[in-house]
Structure 1
Amino acid sequence: MSRNPATPVLELDPAVVRRARSLARKAAAPVVKLAQRHTTVSVERATLRLAGLAGADHERVPWVNHLVDAVRDQVGLEHGVTTPVWDALMRGEAEDVTVLAQKAASGSVQFRMPQGRDALAARRAATRAVGTGLKRIDTARRTRDRLIARLGDPAQQPWIYLIVATGDIHEDIPQAQAAAREGADVIAVIRSTGQSLLDYVPEGATREGFAGTYATQENFRLMRAALDDVSKELGRYIRLTNYASGLCMPEIAALAGMERLDMMLNDSMYGILFRDINPVRTFVDQRFSRQVHARAGIIINTGEDNYLTTADAVEAAHTVTVSQLLNERFAKEAGLEDWQLGLGHAFEINPEIPDSFRLELAHALLARQLFPDAPLKWMPPTKHMTGDVFRGYLLDGFFNLAGAMTGQGILLVGMMTEAVVTPFLSDRDLALQNVRYVLNAAGGLREDFHPPRDGFIQNRARQVLSEAVELLERIVEDSDPAGDVPLLAAIADGTFGLMKRPADGGKGLDGVVERADDYDNPAITALDAWEPPTSAPTAPRRTGTTKGGAR
């Protein structure tokens, strides 16, 4: 998505903007180095999944978990999992990696760290095997590009993003197709509550989930096929979203890339702050997952909106900007391009505050101008939804209007029954009617909306940017000089979302391993060397004709 030239322009000091990005780069750099010095059990499991290892035992424990655990118990993971695994295969311990995992689960395989020619041979074999999965990701990306070229993208921005979440993938599918026919451009299958804390990826098609459906490879495949069918019916490509977060972030990213998902929730700090996952584990996992997303051509959605559910949306507005700048830096270091950065923000200011809508416009315009070529994801009100569906419907209308006036790229459909019930199909239909009305009536309003120089909106945006720079300066310059990763100290102090998360605490810490000098991971080697194709999209393309569900 490229910047619309009609989007209103804030008069921000370019030197302040440059300063903000420079500080974000300085804050991110030690975290990147930390990630490059460590691996995790999920990174190693993701690598085995790329090599084709799938399936689970009778208790539904995935074979990748069994194999990684066996290697770790016998030789450790500091050298990487693939060298001892393919050495075992070349020594005849099993005929393929699946049988090897099955034998490892029963304790009937002996692993070792090979040396010399044996090590070289094992690494070459592992590289070939992992390369198969990477080629599958490349093929999925090319398939997406062909379908978009043939079917077309939505006729207008923002893309309308709607959630389905029944817990049963076979119930989600008809709801998703119905939503697409009513005008949704992006279908998000929200994940079952608590899956982010599972240190394994469930296997197969699932029919039970709480407030969402489990993210599994088979569920991805089924929903993608169903949306391909409805895309052909409607004459526009319908995108699919899921969640690459939590303790299995790298694995879910790999599965999403192979099954051609189009967007993934993937925030650099969400799991740390809101799921108490260890910070080091999270940063190691998110770098690998974002490298996969970059290669797969997947748009990431970040989670800054969550900060405003725990902190005040006015007082903490600058922390959203800081997080967006950090997410941008981490993403670009991992190879993601501007068109893949669905940076998040939200309409969460207390509506009882005077000038609340003007404040929302200032914050939305600031994000739009700081990241002009990113498809910003604009999130609807949730914190101040009271159960009064009429008031909620009005608030959602104002949210949709703010999105239209400020040129947001991805607009998540707000529900008037937020915080009351899981939405019915009728609720979603009414919510989509709200979106369609506002975009049809005021979609071009940004051509006429020009905040006056030194007016309320301009000054508020400058204030938030200035406070963001001050916070970044404190993170980079005022932290403990003995600490080599200042951002970790800021997270431990509760800087973001009022959550204090120390670097040596949280879930999943025991799955973090410092790499040895001879660490080898063919997936990381290939992802580090990968460069985006020169034909990568920078804006939505519209070549098809819209049928059914046109807005």
Structure 2
Amino acid sequence: MALLDLDPRAVATARRLAERAAAPVIDLARRHTTVSLERATLRLAGITGADHTHRAGDVPWVNRVVDTVRAHCGLDHGAALPVFHALAEHGLGTLTDLAEATAAGQVQYRVPTGADAARAEGSARAAIARGLRAVDRNRADRDRLVADLGDPPRRPWLYLIVATGDIDEDVVQAANAARAGADVIAVIRSTGQSLLDYVPEGATHHGFAGTYATEENFRIMRAAMDEVSREVGRYIRVTNYASGLCMSEIAVLAGLRRLDMMLNDSMYGILFRDINPVRTFVDQRFSRQIHARAGIIINTGEDNYLTTDDAVDAAHTVTVSQLLNERFAHEAGLGDHLLGLGHAFEIDPALPDSFRLELAHALLARELFPDAPLKWMPPTKHMTGDVFNGYLLNGFFNLAGALTGQSILLVGMMTEAVATPFLSDRDLALRNVRHVLDAAGGLAEDFRPAPGGLIVKRAHQVLGEAVDLLARIADDGLLNAIAEGTFGLMKRPADQGRGADGVIAKAEGYRNPATDLLDTGGDQ
């Protein structure tokens, strides 16, 4: 039931402006490729493993091949045709054989033409289609497991972070968290992985403040949570991060290993990791197409804006970003049921009426996106190290989530601002959530903000400010808005940032069976 009496014309205008603001960026993404997108394509085709003999350390075979293709004939026609032409030309059986021959300097790549191009494209399409069918099977397996084991009995789903650096230790923490009531396990990535232009291979045990996102780590955690799901009698979802310089590849690996949610924001990497804007938008479109195919819920990152900007003054930028994320996601094929749009409880608690303002912002998001599984983030910026105050503040956050019908609730730690050596902190945090949700029960049914009251007026104000900002962005361009520091106070020019040298304009003859199949939904 609508509680804010939002003007439907203002809502329609906001979406129309978001579509107009996003259109040039979508066109830009369609006209470019990236080294990560080309590597993701070959991962779908089956390439795995790494060169363990390199003096600088392990180099994934997919990096070795794509870098060599680029050096020999460029990537403006894509990597798939040169790779599959070379595979046939040299009579090699697998992409791994080709990678080894490439490392030995035995392969010269070129863009095939005529009949050679047609044969290479057919072979590439067949291999990539097999990869996509594996993604399809994983989606079907998830649906079957959810049907057999059941979803959590109530919303919001409780989302809990593990982050030891060692995948085996993460499994222990994740299993205990699920037994204690967590519904979604998020494995935090090792610090700095988003800036690596390769995906490490194998299981890892040495991450810093998180664990490396690798295909094997994904496999280990998913298998462990399947076992725990059967034990606790509900399907436990697993989350990781499809962001950074390898956004496209990590999305593919998530689809191949049946992860359920992925952090995947259209602007987070630009704003908070200084990754080139064009590269980010190209990779996010491909990654979201993969997520749509895999049935993976994306989590967007609007909460981060409120850690660098004021949560009251900048509230409308969250709404603008949500609308842009929605538009980019829809264009890539993601339905509303897969849009875990983000927002956060970050207003200074010392501000008078801070809780009412939080309710206004949360209700606005809920009513603008009624069918989206919104992800509600706990307080972080104003956690001082006073664990008693932090526990109370998280209680307010949990109550706001219950009152406003949030879908995914990230469990807040009272020790957010200090070192957290004990699993007991997570146990206490889960107890806080359960106590509030159990006590609140169906309180949302009784919650009706007063017409014309502060909550309703504030929601209308934020929506109006969002419409005004979207109008400026639609006129001036989203890339210019990002360069000017519109979001999170971060200024990121379109021609700068990490990974800019990995962006390639497509030639007229560019061919990529992966994007063709994802665009058309083929071979399902």
Could you say which TM-score interval applies, normalised by the shorter chain? over 0.9
Q: CA deviation at 1:515?
A: 0.3
Q: Are the counterparts in 2 of residues 189 and 213 from structure 1 also a CA contact under 8 Å?
A: yes
Describe the shift of the 1:302–1:423 C-alpha distance in structure 2 as closer, same or farther (beyond 3 A): farther
Q: Give the secondary structure class of the aligned counterpart of 1:468.
A: helix
| Distance in 2 separating the partners of 1:422 and 1:532 | 47
In the alignment, does 2:318 pair up with 1:324? no
In the alignment, does 2:46 pair up with 1:52? yes
**Aligned position for 2:16:** 22
Q: CA deviation at 1:532?
A: 12
Q: Are the counterparts in 2 of residues 162 and 412 from structure 1 also a CA contact under 8 Å?
A: yes
In the alignment, does 2:395 pair up with 1:404? no
| Distance in 1 separating the partners of 2:40 and 2:422 | 36
In the alignment, does 2:506 pair up with 1:512? no
| Distance in 2 separating the partners of 1:350 and 1:113 | 58
Q: CA deviation at 1:106?
A: 2.7
Off by >4 Å, runs of 4+ in structure 1: none
Q: Are the counterparts in 1 of residues 276 and 498 from structure 2 also a CA contact under 8 Å?
A: yes
| Distance in 2 separating the partners of 1:73 and 1:107 | 12
Using structure 2 for the length normalisation, give the TM-score. 0.98
Q: Are the counterparts in 1 of residues 133 and 523 from structure 2 also a CA contact under 8 Å?
A: no
Describe the shift of the 1:531–1:184 C-alpha distance in structure 2 as closer, same or farther (beyond 3 A): farther
Of 160, 163, 177 in structure 2, the residue corresponding to residue 162 of structure 1 is 160
Q: Give the secondary structure class of the aligned counterpart of 1:252.
A: helix
**Deviations 1:442-476, CA, capped at 9 Å, x for gaps:** 03111110001110000000000000000001111
Q: Give the secondary structure class of the aligned counterpart of 1:372.
A: coil
Q: Are the counterparts in 2 of residues 93 and 109 from structure 1 also a CA contact under 8 Å?
A: no
Q: Are the counterparts in 2 of residues 239 and 261 from structure 1 also a CA contact under 8 Å?
A: yes
How many residues were matched structurally? 520
Q: Are the counterparts in 2 of residues 267 and 303 from structure 1 also a CA contact under 8 Å?
A: yes
Of 121, 144, 151 in structure 1, the residue corresponding to residue 142 of structure 2 is 144
Structural mapping, 1:253-292, within 5 Å:
253-292=251-290
- Code of the residue aligned with 1:319 in structure 2: it is T
| Distance in 1 separating the partners of 2:340 and 2:324 | 13
Q: Are the counterparts in 2 of residues 295 and 532 from structure 1 also a CA contact under 8 Å?
A: no
Q: Are the counterparts in 2 of residues 415 and 423 from structure 1 also a CA contact under 8 Å?
A: no
| Distance in 2 separating the partners of 1:522 and 1:230 | 38
In the alignment, does 2:95 pair up with 1:129? no
**Aligned position for 1:417:** 415
Q: Give the secondary structure class of the aligned counterpart of 1:162.
A: strand
| Distance in 1 separating the partners of 2:9 and 2:523 | 30
**Aligned position for 1:521:** 512
Structural mapping, 1:115-514, within 5 Å:
115-422=113-420, 424-477=422-475, 479=476, 486-514=477-505
Q: Are the counterparts in 2 of residues 224 and 259 from structure 1 also a CA contact under 8 Å?
A: yes
**Deviations 1:386-406, CA, capped at 9 Å, x for gaps:** 000000000000000000000
| Distance in 2 separating the partners of 1:156 and 1:210 | 34
- Code of the residue aligned with 1:520 in structure 2: it is R
Q: Give the secondary structure class of the aligned counterpart of 1:203.
A: coil
Q: CA deviation at 1:424?
A: 2.0
Q: CA deviation at 1:99?
A: 1.3
**Aligned position for 1:544:** none
| Distance in 2 separating the partners of 1:422 and 1:329 | 38
Q: Are the counterparts in 1 of residues 517 and 523 from structure 2 also a CA contact under 8 Å?
A: no
Q: Are the counterparts in 1 of residues 17 and 470 from structure 2 also a CA contact under 8 Å?
A: yes
Q: Give the secondary structure class of the aligned counterpart of 1:403.
A: helix
| Distance in 2 separating the partners of 1:320 and 1:422 | 29
| Distance in 1 separating the partners of 2:67 and 2:420 | 38
**Deviations 1:408-450, CA, capped at 9 Å, x for gaps:** 0000000000020135210000000000000000031111100
| Distance in 2 separating the partners of 1:107 and 1:87 | 17
Identity %, equivalent residues: 72
In the alignment, does 2:40 pair up with 1:42? no
Q: Give the secondary structure class of the aligned counterpart of 1:187.
A: strand
Q: CA deviation at 1:487?
A: 0.4
Q: Give the secondary structure class of the aligned counterpart of 2:311.
A: coil
| Distance in 2 separating the partners of 1:429 and 1:422 | 12
| Distance in 1 separating the partners of 2:319 and 2:400 | 18
| Distance in 2 separating the partners of 1:224 and 1:474 | 44
Describe the shift of the 1:439–1:423 C-alpha distance in structure 2 as closer, same or farther (beyond 3 A): farther
Q: Give the secondary structure class of the aligned counterpart of 2:186.
A: strand
Q: Are the counterparts in 1 of residues 129 and 523 from structure 2 also a CA contact under 8 Å?
A: no
Q: Are the counterparts in 2 of residues 415 and 431 from structure 1 also a CA contact under 8 Å?
A: yes
Q: Give the secondary structure class of the aligned counterpart of 2:262.
A: strand
Which structure is richer in relative contact order (CA contacts within 8 A, separation 6 or more)? 1
| Distance in 2 separating the partners of 1:512 and 1:105 | 24
Gaps of 5+ in 2: none
| Distance in 2 separating the partners of 1:94 and 1:42 | 24
The CA RMSD measured in Å over matched residues stands at 1.1
- Code of the residue aligned with 2:396 in structure 1: it is F
| Distance in 2 separating the partners of 1:532 and 1:101 | 27
Using structure 1 for the length normalisation, give the TM-score. 0.93
| Distance in 2 separating the partners of 1:336 and 1:435 | 30
**Deviations 1:365-392, CA, capped at 9 Å, x for gaps:** 0000000000000000000000000000
**Aligned position for 1:94:** 92
| Distance in 2 separating the partners of 1:166 and 1:443 | 34
| Distance in 2 separating the partners of 1:93 and 1:393 | 64
Describe the shift of the 1:294–1:348 C-alpha distance in structure 2 as closer, same or farther (beyond 3 A): same
| Distance in 2 separating the partners of 1:470 and 1:179 | 43
- Code of the residue aligned with 1:33 in structure 2: it is D
Q: Give the secondary structure class of the aligned counterpart of 2:59.
A: coil
Q: CA deviation at 1:93?
A: 5.2
Q: Are the counterparts in 2 of residues 41 and 68 from structure 1 also a CA contact under 8 Å?
A: yes
**Deviations 1:27-65, CA, capped at 9 Å, x for gaps:** 001100000000000000000001110111112110000
Q: Are the counterparts in 2 of residues 417 and 423 from structure 1 also a CA contact under 8 Å?
A: no
Q: CA deviation at 1:344?
A: 0.2
- Code of the residue aligned with 2:358 in structure 1: it is E
